[in-house]
Structure 1
Amino acid sequence: MKVYIVSLAAGILVGIIYALLQVRSPAPPAIALIGLLGMLIGEQVVPTVKRVVAGEPVTAAWFRSECVPKITGAPPKPDGTTEPRVTLSARGKEGGQ
């Protein structure tokens, strides 16, 4: 039940922000997608700040292995780098469809 209340509260907050920015809800697709990207990036602020507060270094390698996959949805490879997901359009080009 708590998750539903938090979700409702977040929705109300976003609705207030939309009203202050004078953006219709639901937002036009480009605005909504940029907002979703902002949420994904914002989610990575907390683990980064926790790492800084704990005195651990925030290196590019750590960011690439821990944060980038969560933002892009690309699964991390064993070496810590990420590989972009294959989309349907990319499959069609490679598969000769």
Structure 2
Amino acid sequence: MSRTIVRYALSLGAGVLAGFLYWLMGVPTPAPPRIALVGLFGIVIGESGGSLLHTRLRRRPATSAGAPAQDGGESARHVSD
């Protein structure tokens, strides 16, 4: 597993453990209501999606039909004698 997945799993586990301890002690959690957590999750998804979209758009080659070839102007179908 990658380090990122392990970090997310540890973070989730710590949160579940803390929630269980709060429940065990009968203390209300200081976390925002579930509806706010869903909104925060949406923000994270939107940010990740925006970054992914930006990266994919930047990777596309910026060539047009009239632009010279990348290999110094020669055609890709160069036929030798």
TM-score range, shorter chain: 0.3 to 0.5
Structure with a larger share of its residues in helix: 1
